């Protein structure tokens, strides 16, 4: 006889059959992979993909350019681990060139590119200024698949790196809001009485403030206490979203409290904490996961909103909201795509999370 | 006289649909026919199972496969034919004016394809009806007009269709006879009821058959259904007035299952000639009652109401509803009409459900354990109501229950089912008087008997043994033999009680009050209370079982919970082992929990579904620090699993893999994990079938012997409480009604309330059943 499936296995099976949700999950996994190992494959793997070169600003997609490596004084210490997660700082300088020829006198004739519509400048360089001995080794050709922005940075690299902010903010904010929400919701739902009334009242107040406004307020008031803009965003968004989690946890606990096994646990002398964590919470994991998924999508949207208003992650760290803000003036010109790309990516990621959330809701059979 | 019968199906594990009487799927039918073909070695067999139209035909010449069926449908257009017209006429003849038209429309709306004739008939009837109403003609006249219209239409229809199109099942039979080259002088037997018979004989006569016999027997709808369900076929002795040895048998009875009686056919058929033909036309002379019920009750009742009056549909529906409520004896039907379910009591809800089912005027009402969740007193009134209704509305009732006591109160005929098979059928008297199958005997025996005191209850294993493959070995013991084996003498009971009283009471409840506030004033101070437990005092001696009985809402569960401090007490004392539980600090309370345990009513919800069984039993030991290591605890869990009759392999299973009885065993094991002295069983067996209930009760008794537990046994079922307890307390409205030795209270109840409780118990005693059956017959 086949062993009957546990409730979890059944739900998983149901979720697997939902093609849209599975596809969305695939998209999310792809994004997570892309974000984690971004520096391995993006063309500009300098920290924050921030290699600026005004002379090649605002080039269209597919643009190709030759560069000459020159020596600098900068000493860079690096390890592969640091390169993988934080990018590789360059220990040379790059200049855009049309051509470079070695002359008999040991000098090098360089024709430097100064931008579209500007005449190139020809001058001679001492061979010692080159990064390495051989001239050919110092000439590199780069392709900008999605063109460059107004500071000559690679748009593709910045877009890929931007997903890091969105995903990280989403993850940490969901973590914070879930912990907070589950804790507060449990207290309200389990103890009921005046604790519940007080918390419900607080939640109603929180609920009435527009989300973006609330996180803006939190962001601004937290600015003086923390150095890193990341931490501020985590807290600002996490503390904004706990209400939805707390409400659902409270409602679920109110219902499940009435089921006899909770009373049975009480009669066996278990502590309240044990009853909540070991007996109640595992049984309402389904709704919690669903709310967490939709919170994830919300967090990404709020972060993009904050960045767009200039309150998000500070430059030069690329974020989709920030890029939207930077390039919003190009909308309507032939450079519209600069603003459209990040917007589109935000849309895809949020949609994926919402679809996964819907799939989970169907699989776990939770009524709205 | 009430000639309708009731069939009772027992054993709740059986899904009614599985009985196979209502809908025979293609596969099932195919298999049966194949079986029939092999078994009977007939060379011509035709089977038609229909509700108003032809569904299947089978001959031995063709392979019975899909292409054959599709060809068949291509050949014969399953349209309405002569019979249905005749049927409609019958309906009109038997009903009064307006209702006749309703019924006609009912038929019309249930048939998806109609030939021209019916449309015309219906249109004409409708026209006649409308016009007569407008003219203010009386109902009687309308009836005559309708009858006339239909008769005319029928005539026209008959003349045009009968000879030309082989659409009717009647002509199909003829068609088949011709195909088989049956000569015109063959001996044909037509078995069946109603108009089909007459049509058949008329039709055969018309086509030159001379030698046919009609066995006409009219069955009531209920009887016909009874045949379907139990597979009872026509008895040979009924047919013996005909000379046996027919060439062809045509049956048209509306009962698909009687085809299984092969012996009968064998005996009836001409053996020498080698030609054996059975034509089975299962054409009901009325709409198939079950199909009517199960696919279009709502649809039809609304649509035909619309025809009557499109404007005041809502008012009419309300009128009917309130009328129905009155019929099911609901108090203040007007108020209940606008009440929400939670505002009604359990019994009232059940009455509304019955009204709902009855509103469609069903021929068969299937009642699936309708009284299992109710108190005995309410159960009694519901059973009385159903008895009244079935005779008043002429409905048949299939009453499904696990409790043979209830069967004794209501059923005419009984079907006992075990593991999906019918093991025994018979009239209710036969079953109670002389139960044949071991399982029936065990069902009869495992109800706690009221007159005697037993040391343990008989269970299924006393009557039959089942090996791992599911083969059953029946033991020959009779019910009385087994019961007598366990009887305890009155002296032994007295001795036990005297011995118990030598020790000090382990639990003393003094003036306990649990009041729940229902209204509070402006400052949050309660002004009104529900007095769930009001001034209750009693003692429980060590090793004793104290029974607590009363209707639901009498406060017995709250009392149990208050003793354990799961519900807050208002006032009073609960002294356990010298200490007042109500004053205990949190730490003391935790220690107290080790000594006092509770086993809840619902085994399905009192286990955490996300925890393995082993984990659930082990957890209290971990929390209370019993044993030093997890391995020691694990060993203890395995030991406990064995104690309650489960095994070690089940340690890592989840609760949903167990049946209700097994789950209750797990709950018991969990309660035992803490080595308690005192256990409160709160309706612990009320949700279980009687056979499982007996096993769990026996387990509790064994544990009492082994560990010297003290029990408080709470239940609404007086028979169970009486079986378990030394003394019992009868509670009513939060107060103690009566208290004393269990046997004394049962044999000699002092209070009216107690007497009511005792008389409401379905006793399942032969004398009572005989009295009831006699009473029905005399009506």
Closest CA–CA distance from residue A273 to any residue of chain B (Å):
12
Assign residue A162 the CATH number of its domain. Answer: 1.10.3720.10
Residue A243 lies in a domain: yes
Contact indicator for A300, A345 with CB cutoff of 8 Å: no
User: Chain B partners of A267 at a C-beta cutoff of 8 Å?
Assistant: 564, 566, 593, 597-598
Average pLDDT over residues A43-56: 81
Please indicate whether, in this complex, the C-beta atoms of B667 and A279 are within 8 angstroms of each other: no
Q: Would you call B610 and A283 a contact, using CB atoms and an 8 Å cutoff?
A: yes
Q: How far is C-alpha A88 from the chain's CA centre? A: 20
Domain end marker among A111, A144, A177: A144
Of A352-366, B389-403, B535-549, the poorest mean pLDDT is in: B389-403
CA distance A6 to chain B (A): 8
> Are residues A337 and A249 located together in one domain of the fold?
yes
Q: Name the helix (H) or strand (E) containing B526.
A: strand B526-541
The 8-class DSSP code of residue A56 comes to G
User: What pLDDT was estimated at residue B584?
Assistant: 86
A58 within some domain: yes
Instruction: Say whether both A171 and A135 belong to one domain.
Output: no
- Candidates B622, B623, B657: best to mutate against A (most CBs of A within 10 A) is B623
**pLDDT tens-place string over residues B633-665:** 999 999 888 888 888 888 888 888 888 888 888
Chain segment A121-136, per-residue pLDDT in tens: 888 877 777 777 777 7
Ranking B192-196, B244-248, B370-374 by mean pLDDT, the lowest is B192-196
Q: How far apart are CA A24 and CA A355, in angstroms?
A: 6
Pair B104, B124: CB distance under 8 Å = no
End of a domain among A123, A144, A165?
Answer: A144
Asked whether the whole model's pTM tops 0.80, one would answer no
Q: Tell me how far the alpha carbon of residue A329 is from its chain's centroid.
A: 23
Tens digits of residue pLDDT in A64-80: 888 888 888 777 777 88
Question: Is the pLDDT at A30 greater than 90, yes or no?
Answer: yes
Distance (Å, rounded) from C-alpha B412 to C-alpha B775?
Answer: 12
Q: Convert the pLDDT of each residue in B48-65 to its tens digit.
A: 222 222 222 223 333 333
Residue A2 lies in a domain: no
- What pLDDT does residue B292 have? 24
- Tell whether the model's pLDDT for residue B255 goes beyond 70: no
CA angle B649/B654/B655 to nearest 5° reads: 110
Phi then psi for B404, rounded to 5 degrees?
-65, -25
Query: From B668, which residue of chain A is nearest by alpha-carbon distance?
Result: A264
Size of interface A-B (CB pairs under 8 A): 68
B398/B294 Cα distance (integer angstroms): 14
The pLDDT assigned to B399 comes to 83
Contacts of residue A6 in chain B, CB cutoff 8 Å? 654, 656
The B-side interface with A (CB below 8 A) comprises 564, 566, 589-594, 597-598, 600-602, 605-611, 619-620, 623-624, 654, 656-657, 667, 670, 674
pLDDT, chain B, mean = 67
Interface contact A268, partner B, CB < 8 A: yes
Residue B223's H or E segment, with its range, is: helix B221-230
Question: Are A107 and A74 members of one domain?
Answer: yes
Q: Residue B169 — φ and ψ, nearest 5°?
A: -65, -30
Alpha carbons B501 and B543: distance in angstroms, whole number: 10
Interface test with B, best of A2, A269, A279, A281 (most B CBs within 10 A): A269
Burial class (CB in 10 A: 0-12, 13-18, 19+), B660: middle
Q: Lowest-pLDDT range, A161-165, B368-372, B428-432?
A: B368-372
Indicate the pairing of strand B188-192 with strand B248-252.
parallel
The C-alpha atoms of residue A203 and residue B697 are separated, in whole angstroms, by 50
What are the chain B neighbours of A270 within 8 Å (beta carbons)? 619-620, 623
A136, A162: one domain = no
Q: Tell me which residue of B750, B739, B682, B693 sits closest to B719, measured CA to CA.
A: B693
Looking at the fold, whether A118 and A261 belong to one and the same domain comes out as: no
The DSSP call for residue B258 is: G
What values do phi and psi take at B98, rounded to 5? -60, -40
Q: Are A118 and A187 within one domain?
A: no
A274 lies in some domain: yes
Q: Phi-psi category of A364—alpha, beta or left, where left has phi over 0 and alpha has psi -120 to 50?
A: alpha
Per-residue b or e along B281-310, where b marks 16 or more CB atoms closer than 10 Å to that residue's CB: bbbbbbbbbbebbeebeeebbeebbeeeee
The verdict on A54 touching B (C-beta cutoff 8 Å) is no
pLDDT at B67 over 90: no
**Which of B156-160, B188-192, B244-248, B335-339 comes out lowest in average pLDDT?**
B156-160
In this predicted structure, the answer to whether residue B448 has a pLDDT above a threshold of 70 is: yes
Tell me which residues of chain A, numbers 269 to 328, contact chain B at a CB-CB cutoff of 8 Å. Answer: 269-271, 274, 278-279, 282-283
CA dist A147 and A62 (Å) reads: 6
Residues 6+ apart with CB under 8 A from B323: none
pLDDT-derived band of residue B117, with 50, 70 and 90 as boundaries?
A: very low
Confirm or reject contact between A256 and chain B (CB < 8 A): no
Q: Do residue A169 and residue A313 come from a single domain?
A: yes
Do both A210 and A292 map to the same domain? yes
Q: Report how far residue B474's alpha carbon sits from residue B464's, in angstroms, rounded to the nearest whole number.
A: 4
Distance (Å, whole) CA A231 – CA B699: 61
Question: Which helix (H) or strand (E) element contains residue B727?
Answer: strand B727-732
The continuous run of DSSP H or E covering B466 comes out as strand B464-466
User: Is the Cβ of A2 closer than 8 Å to some Cβ of chain B?
Assistant: no
Do both A348 and A256 map to the same domain? yes
Q: Name which residue leads in pLDDT, B78 or B535.
A: B535
Cα distance between residue B65 and residue B67, in whole Å? 6
Residues contacting residue A289 through CB under 8 Å, at least 6 positions apart: A360, A364
Question: Is residue A171 domain-shared with residue A122, that is, in the same domain?
Answer: no
pLDDT bucket at B175, cuts 50 / 70 / 90: low
Chain centre to alpha carbon of residue B626: 46
Are the CB atoms for B260 and B39 separated by under 8 Å? no
Q: What is the mean pLDDT of residues A172-201?
A: 92
Inside any domain, residue A31: no
Q: Is there a contact between A152 and A54 (Cβ–Cβ < 8 Å)?
A: yes
Q: Do A263 and B624 touch (CB under 8 A)?
A: no
CB proximity list for A129: less than 8 A, separation 6 or greater: A70, A71
Please name which of A161, A180, A191, A173 lies closest in space to residue A234, comparing C-alpha atoms.
Answer: A173
Neighboring chain A residues of B619 at a CB cutoff of 8 Å: 268, 270, 278
Whether the link from the prior residue into A316 is cis, omega within 30° of 0, is yes
Quote the DSSP letter at residue A279: I
Q: State the Cα–Cα distance between residues B411 and B9, nearest whole angstrom.
A: 9
- Residue B225 sits at the vertex; the CA angle it makes with B14 and B443, to the nearest 5 degrees, is 35
Query: Residue B180: phi, psi to the nearest 5?
Result: -85, 5
- Kindly tell me if the per-residue pLDDT of B681 is higher than 70: yes
Confidence of residue B744 (pLDDT cuts 50, 70, 90): confident
Looking at the predicted structure, is the pLDDT value of residue B131 above 70?
no
- Reported as a pLDDT band with limits 50, 70 and 90, residue B679 is very high
Residue B63, Cβ density class (10 Å: 0-12 exposed, 13-18 middle, ≥19 buried):
exposed
Interchain proximity A261–B601, CB inside 8 Å: no
Nearest C-alpha in A relative to B679: A267
Nearest partner of B560 among B741, B698, B714, judged by Cα: B714
**Tens digits of residue pLDDT in B587-611:** 888 888 888 889 888 887 888 888 8
Distances (CA, A) of B631 to B99, B218, B628: 76, 73, 9
Distance CA B244, CA B261 (A): 16
Q: Are residues A84 and A198 in the same domain?
A: no
- Give the Cα separation of B206 and B187 in Å (integer): 16
- Give burial (CB, 10 Å; 0-12/13-18/19+) of A284: buried
What residues of chain A lie within 8 A of the CB of B610, using their CB?
7, 282-283
Cα–chain center distance at B620: 40
Last residue within a domain, chosen from A90, A122, A144: A144
What is the model's pLDDT at position A349? Answer: 93
- Exposed (0-12), middle (13-18) or buried (19+): which is B679, by Cβ within 10 Å? buried
Range of the domain at A103: 50-144
Q: How does the average pLDDT of chain A come out, rounded? A: 86
Nearest by CB to B566, from A263, A270, A278: name it.
A263
Backbone angles phi, psi at B105, to 5 degrees: -70, -30
Q: Are B742 and B470 in contact (CB under 8 A)?
A: no
A323 is a domain residue:
yes
CB B570 within 8 A of CB B559: no
My answer on whether A211 and A87 are in the same domain is: no
- The C-alpha atoms of residue B176 and residue B190 are separated, in whole angstroms, by 15
Mean pLDDT of B383-391: 81
**Cα separation, B233 vs B343, whole angstroms:** 48
Model ipTM?
0.73
Q: Strand B44-49's sheet: what is its strand order?
A: B44-49, B277-282, B248-252, B188-192, B212-216
The answer to whether residue A66 sits within a structural domain is yes
Closest residue in B to A256 (Cα) is B605
CB contact at 8 A, A295 and A362: no
Residues 6+ away with beta carbon under 8 Å from B633: B618, B621, B622, B626, B627
Whether A254 is in a domain gets the answer: yes
Q: Nearest chain A Cα to B561, which residue?
A: A267
- Contact call for A4 and B656, based on CB within 8 A: yes
Distance CA B394, CA B381 (A): 20
- C-alpha–C-alpha distance, residues B565 and B120, integer Å: 76
- Predicted confidence (pLDDT) at residue B563 exceeds the cutoff of 70: yes
Query: A49-68 in b/e burial notation, b at 16+ Cβ within 10 A?
Result: bbbebebbbbbeeebebebb
Q: Which of A346-355, B90-99, B466-475, B681-690 has the lowest mean pLDDT?
A: B90-99
Residues of chain A found within 8 Å of residue B608, distances taken between Cβ atoms: 261, 265, 279, 282-283
| Closest in B590, B591, B610 to A282, CB measured | B610
Rounded CA-CA distance A102/B123 in Å is 107
Least confident residue range of B124-133, B410-419, B485-494, B501-510: B124-133
Q: How many domains does chain A have?
A: 2
pLDDT score of A332: 83
């Amino acid at each position: 006889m086949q062993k009957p499936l546990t409730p979890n296995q059944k739900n998983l099976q149901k979720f697997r059959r939902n093609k849209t949700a599975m596809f969305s999950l695939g998209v999310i996994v792809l994004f997570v992979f892309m974000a984690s190992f971004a520096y391995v494959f993006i063309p500009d793997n300098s920290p924050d993909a921030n290699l600026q070169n005004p002379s090649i600003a605002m080039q269209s997609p597919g643009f190709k350019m030759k560069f000459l490596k020159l020596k600098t004084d900068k000493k860079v210490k690096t390890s592969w681990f640091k390169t993988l997660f934080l990018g590789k700082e360059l220990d040379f300088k790059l200049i855009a060139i049309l051509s470079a020829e070695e002359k008999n006198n040991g000098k090098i004739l360089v024709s430097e590119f100064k931008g579209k519509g500007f005449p190139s400048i020809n001058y001679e360089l001492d061979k010692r200024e080159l990064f390495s001995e051989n001239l050919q080794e110092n000439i590199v050709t780069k392709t900008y698949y999605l063109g460059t922005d107004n500071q000559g940075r690679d748009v593709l690299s910045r877009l890929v790196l931007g997903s890091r902010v969105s995903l990280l903010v989403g993850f940490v904010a969901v973590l914070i809001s879930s912990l907070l929400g589950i804790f507060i919701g449990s207290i309200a739902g389990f103890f009921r009485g005046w604790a519940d009334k007080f918390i419900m009242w607080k939640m109603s107040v929180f609920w009435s403030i527009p989300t973006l406004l609330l996180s803006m307020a939190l962001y601004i008031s937290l600015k003086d206490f923390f150095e890193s803009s990341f931490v501020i965003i985590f807290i600002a968004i996490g503390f904004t979203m706990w209400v939805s989690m707390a409400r659902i946890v409270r409602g679920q606990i109110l219902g499940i409290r009435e089921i006899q096994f909770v009373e049975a646990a009480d009669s066996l002398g278990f502590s309240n904490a044990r009853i909540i964590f070991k007996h109640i919470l595992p049984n309402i994991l389904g709704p919690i996961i669903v709310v967490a998924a939709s919170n994830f999508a919300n967090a990404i949207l709020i972060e993009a909103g904050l960045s767009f208003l200039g309150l998000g992650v500070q430059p030069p760290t690329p974020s989709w909201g920030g890029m939207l803000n930077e390039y919003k003036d190009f909308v309507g010109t032939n450079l519209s795509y600069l603003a459209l790309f990040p917007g589109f990516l935000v849309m895809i990621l949020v949609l994926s999370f919402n679809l996964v959330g819907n799939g989970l809701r169907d699989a776990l059979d939770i009524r709205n | 006289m009430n000639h309708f019968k009731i069939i009772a199906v027992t054993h709740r594990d059986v899904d009614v649909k599985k009985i196979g009487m209502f809908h025979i799927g293609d596969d099932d039918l195919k298999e049966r026919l194949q079986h029939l073909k092999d078994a009977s070695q007939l060379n011509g067999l035709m089977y038609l199972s229909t509700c108003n139209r032809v569904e299947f035909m089978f001959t031995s010449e063709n392979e019975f496969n899909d292409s054959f069926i599709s060809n068949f449908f291509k050949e014969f257009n399953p349209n309405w034919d002569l019979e249905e017209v005749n049927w409609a006429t019958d309906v009109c003849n038997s009903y009064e004016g307006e209702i006749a038209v309703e019924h006609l429309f009912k038929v019309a709306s249930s048939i998806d394809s109609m030939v021209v004739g019916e449309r015309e008939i219906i249109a004409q009837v409708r026209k006649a009806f409308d016009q007569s109403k407008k003219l203010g003609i009386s109902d009687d006249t309308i009836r005559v007009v309708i009858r006339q219209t239909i008769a005319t239409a029928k005539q026209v229809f008959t003349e045009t269709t009968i000879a030309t199109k082989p659409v009717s099942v009647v002509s199909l039979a003829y068609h088949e006879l011709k195909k088989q080259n049956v000569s015109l002088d063959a001996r044909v037997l037509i078995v069946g009821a109603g108009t089909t018979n007459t049509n058949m004989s008329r039709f055969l006569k018309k086509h030159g058959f001379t030698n046919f016999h009609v066995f006409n027997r009219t069955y009531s709808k209920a009887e016909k259904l009874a045949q379907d369900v139990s597979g009872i076929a026509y008895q040979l002795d009924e047919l013996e007035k005909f000379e046996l040895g027919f060439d062809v048998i045509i049956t048209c009875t509306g009962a698909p299952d009687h085809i299984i009686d092969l012996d009968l056919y064998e005996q009836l058929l001409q053996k020498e000639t080698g030609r054996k033909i059975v034509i089975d036309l299962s054409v009901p002379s009325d709409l198939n009652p079950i199909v009517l019920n199960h696919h279009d009750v709502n649809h039809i009742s609304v649509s035909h109401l619309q025809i009557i009056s499109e404007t005041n549909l809502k008012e009419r529906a309300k009128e009917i509803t309130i009328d129905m409520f009155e019929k099911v004896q609901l108090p203040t039907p007007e108020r209940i009409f606008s009440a929400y379910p939670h505002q009604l009591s359990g019994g009232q809800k059940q009455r509304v459900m019955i009204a709902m089912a009855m509103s469609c005027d069903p021929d068969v009402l299937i009642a699936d354990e309708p009284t299992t969740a109710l108190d005995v007193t309410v159960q009694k009134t519901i059973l009385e109501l159903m008895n009244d209704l079935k005779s008043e509305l002429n409905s048949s009732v299939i009453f499904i229950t696990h409790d043979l006591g209830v069967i004794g109160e209501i059923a005419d005929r009984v079907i006992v089912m075990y593991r999906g098979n019918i093991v025994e059928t018979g009239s209710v008297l036969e079953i109670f008087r002389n139960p044949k199958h071991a399982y029936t005997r065990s069902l009869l025996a495992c109800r706690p008997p009221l007159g005697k005191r037993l040391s343990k209850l008989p269970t299924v294993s006393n009557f039959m043994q089942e090996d791992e493959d599911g083969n059953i070995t029946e033991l020959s013991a009779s019910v009385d033999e087994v019961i007598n084996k366990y009887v305890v003498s009155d002296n032994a009971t007295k001795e036990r009680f005297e011995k118990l009283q030598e020790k000090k009471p382990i639990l003393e409840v003094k003036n306990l009050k649990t009041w729940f506030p229902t209204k509070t004033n402006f400052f949050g101070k309660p002004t009104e209370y529900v007095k769930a437990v009001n001034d209750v005092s009693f003692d429980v001696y060590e090793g004793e079982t104290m029974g607590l009985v009363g209707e639901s809402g009498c406060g017995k569960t709250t009392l149990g919970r208050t003793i354990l401090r799961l519900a807050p007490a208002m006032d009073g004392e609960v002294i356990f082992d010298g200490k007042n539980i109500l004053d205990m600090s949190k730490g003391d309370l935790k220690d107290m929990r080790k000594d006092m345990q509770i086993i809840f009513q619902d085994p399905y919800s009192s286990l955490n579904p996300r925890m393995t069984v082993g984990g659930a039993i082990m957890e209290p030991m971990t929390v209370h620090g019993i044993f030093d290591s997890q391995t020691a605890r694990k060993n203890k869990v395995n030991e406990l699993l064995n104690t309650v009759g489960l095994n070690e392999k089940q340690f890592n299973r989840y609760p949903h893999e167990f049946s209700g009885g097994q789950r209750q065993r797990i709950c018991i094991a969990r309660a035992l994990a803490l080595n308690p002295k005192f256990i409160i069983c709160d309706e612990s067996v009320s949700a279980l079938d009687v056979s499982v209930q007996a096993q769990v009760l026996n387990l509790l008794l064994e544990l009492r012997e082994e560990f010297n537990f003290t029990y408080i046994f709470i239940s609404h079922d007086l028979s169970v409480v009486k079986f378990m307890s030394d003394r019992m307390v009868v509670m009513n409205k939060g107060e103690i009604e009566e208290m004393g030795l269990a046997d004394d209270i049962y044999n000699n109840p002092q209070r009216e309330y107690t007497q009511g409780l005792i008389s409401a118990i379905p006793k399942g005693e032969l004398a009572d059943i005989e009295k009831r059956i006699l009473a029905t017959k005399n009506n």
